[in-house]
Structure 1
Amino acid sequence: MIPENEFDRLVHLAEYDLDAAELETQLQDLAKLAAKVAGTEISLVNLIDAFTQWSVASEGIPVMQMDREDSVCQYTIMGDQPFEVRDLSKDERFNRKFYVTDDPHLRYYWGVPLTSEAGLNLGALCVLDKTAKEISPEKVALLEIIADEIVNRLKISKTVASLRSKLQHSEEKQKQIAHDIRGPLGGIIGLAQIVNEQGDQNRLDEVLEFIKVIQTSSKSLLDLADEILSSKDALKVRPSAPAENECSLSILKNKLKNLYEIQGKQKNIDLAVEVNSCKSELTFPKAKLLQIIGNLVSNAIKFTPAGGKVSVSLDIFEKGQRRELSVIVKDTGAGMRREQIDSILQGDGKTTKGSLGEKGFGFGLPLVKHLIDGMGGRLKIESEPGRYARFEVNLPD
Structure 2
Amino acid sequence: MNIKLKYPIPANEEERLWALSEFDVDYTEVSHVFKDLVLLAAKIAKTEVSLVNLIDSYTQWSVSNHGLPIEQMERTESVCQYTITTNDYFEVKELSKDERFKDKAYVVSDPKLDYYFGVPLTTEQGYNLGALCVMDKTVKDLSPEKIELLKIVGKEVVNRLVALKTIQELKAQATAKEELRKKVAHDIRGPLGGIISLTQIISMQGENNKLSDVLEFINMIQKAGTSLLDLATEILNSEDKQINTKSREASADDFSLETFKQKLERLYLPQAKNKAINYTVSLVPESVDMPFPKNKLLQITGNLITNAIKFTPANGSVSVMLGLSNSARQQILTIKVADTGVGLNNDAVKQILSGNKHTSDGTDGEAGFGFGLALVKRLVDDLHGTMHIDSVPNEGTTFTISLQWTN
In the TM superposition, residue 180 of structure 1 has moved relative to its aligned partner by 8.3
Structure 2 CA distance for aligned equivalents of residues 102 and 301 of structure 1: 26
Q: Write the deviation string for residues 282-305 of structure 1: whole angstroms up to 9, x where unpaired.
A: 221110000000000000011111
1:156 maps onto 2:170 in alignment: no
**Residue pair 1:165, 1:244 contacting (<8 A) in 2 also:** no
Structure 1 CA distance for aligned equivalents of residues 63 and 221 of structure 2: 18
1:51 maps onto 2:66 in alignment: no
2:213 maps to which residue?
198
Q: Write the deviation string for residues 199-246 of structure 1: whole angstroms up to 9, x where unpaired.
A: 79xxxxxxx6x9966653443214445x48xx9777443425534321
Q: Write the deviation string for residues 86-126 of structure 1: whole angstroms up to 9, x where unpaired.
A: 11111111111111111111110000011112221111000
Query: Comparing 363-372 with 69-78, which one deviates more in the overlay?
Result: 69-78
1:295 maps to which residue?
303
**Residue pair 1:164, 1:244 contacting (<8 A) in 2 also:** no
**Residue pair 1:330, 1:390 contacting (<8 A) in 2 also:** yes
1:286 maps to which residue?
294
Segments of 5+ residues of structure 2 without an aligned counterpart are 1-7
1:308 maps onto 2:322 in alignment: no
Query: Comparing 312-321 with 163-172, which one deviates more in the overlay?
Result: 163-172
| AA aligned opposite 1:253 | K
Segments of 5+ residues of structure 1 without an aligned counterpart are 201-207
Structure 2 CA distance for aligned equivalents of residues 241 and 33 of structure 1: 37
1:10 maps to which residue?
17
Structure 1 CA distance for aligned equivalents of residues 356 and 211 of structure 2: 49
1:173 maps onto 2:183 in alignment: yes
Matches within 5 A, 1:223-238: 223-225=230-232, 227=233, 235-236=239-240, 237-238=242-243
Alpha-carbon spacing, 1:271–1:44, altered in 2? closer, same or farther (3 Å): same
1:341 maps to which residue?
349
| AA aligned opposite 1:322 | Q
In the TM superposition, residue 176 of structure 1 has moved relative to its aligned partner by 3.7
**Residue pair 1:349, 1:362 contacting (<8 A) in 2 also:** yes
Alpha-carbon spacing, 1:181–1:333, altered in 2? closer, same or farther (3 Å): farther
Structure 1 CA distance for aligned equivalents of residues 139 and 222 of structure 2: 31
**Residue pair 2:114, 2:138 contacting (<8 A) in 1 also:** yes
The residue matched to 2:63 in structure 1 has which SS? strand
Q: Write the deviation string for residues 131-157 of structure 1: whole angstroms up to 9, x where unpaired.
A: 100111111121111111111111111
Q: Write the deviation string for residues 21-45 of structure 1: whole angstroms up to 9, x where unpaired.
A: 0011111111111111110000010
Alpha-carbon spacing, 1:249–1:180, altered in 2? closer, same or farther (3 Å): farther
The residue matched to 2:334 in structure 1 has which SS? strand
User: What TM-score do you get using the length of structure 2 for normalisation?
Assistant: 0.87
The residue matched to 1:294 in structure 2 has which SS? helix
The residue matched to 1:106 in structure 2 has which SS? coil
Alpha-carbon spacing, 1:267–1:141, altered in 2? closer, same or farther (3 Å): same
Q: Write the deviation string for residues 276-326 of structure 1: whole angstroms up to 9, x where unpaired.
A: 244363221110000000000000011111111100000012356101100
2:269 maps to which residue?
261
| AA aligned opposite 1:182 | L
2:398 maps to which residue?
390
| AA aligned opposite 1:197 | S
Q: Pick the aligned partner of 2:377 from 369, 378, 383.
A: 369
RMSD (Å), alpha carbons = 2.7
| AA aligned opposite 2:125 | A
**Residue pair 1:2, 1:78 contacting (<8 A) in 2 also:** yes
**Residue pair 1:52, 1:65 contacting (<8 A) in 2 also:** yes
| AA aligned opposite 1:177 | D
| AA aligned opposite 1:114 | L
In the TM superposition, residue 14 of structure 1 has moved relative to its aligned partner by 0.5
**Residue pair 2:283, 2:323 contacting (<8 A) in 1 also:** yes
**Residue pair 2:272, 2:279 contacting (<8 A) in 1 also:** yes
1:123 maps onto 2:130 in alignment: yes
The residue matched to 1:279 in structure 2 has which SS? coil
User: What TM-score do you get using the length of structure 1 for normalisation?
Assistant: 0.90
1:271 maps to which residue?
279
**Residue pair 1:304, 1:334 contacting (<8 A) in 2 also:** yes
**Residue pair 1:248, 1:280 contacting (<8 A) in 2 also:** no
Structure 1 CA distance for aligned equivalents of residues 147 and 394 of structure 2: 50
**Residue pair 2:38, 2:50 contacting (<8 A) in 1 also:** yes
Alpha-carbon spacing, 1:47–1:186, altered in 2? closer, same or farther (3 Å): farther
Alpha-carbon spacing, 1:84–1:267, altered in 2? closer, same or farther (3 Å): same
2:253 maps to which residue?
245
Structure 2 CA distance for aligned equivalents of residues 163 and 174 of structure 1: 7
Q: Write the deviation string for residues 35-56 of structure 1: whole angstroms up to 9, x where unpaired.
A: 1111000001000000100001
Query: Comparing 23-32 with 124-133, which one deviates more in the overlay?
Result: 23-32
Q: Write the deviation string for residues 334-393 of structure 1: whole angstroms up to 9, x where unpaired.
A: 111111111000111133101100001000000000000011100000111111011000
The percent identity for this pair of structures is 45
Structure 2 CA distance for aligned equivalents of residues 33 and 392 of structure 1: 44
**Residue pair 2:199, 2:218 contacting (<8 A) in 1 also:** no
The residue matched to 2:28 in structure 1 has which SS? helix
In the TM superposition, residue 3 of structure 1 has moved relative to its aligned partner by 0.8
2:3 maps to which residue?
none
Query: What is the number of residues matched between the two proteins?
Result: 385
The residue matched to 1:118 in structure 2 has which SS? coil
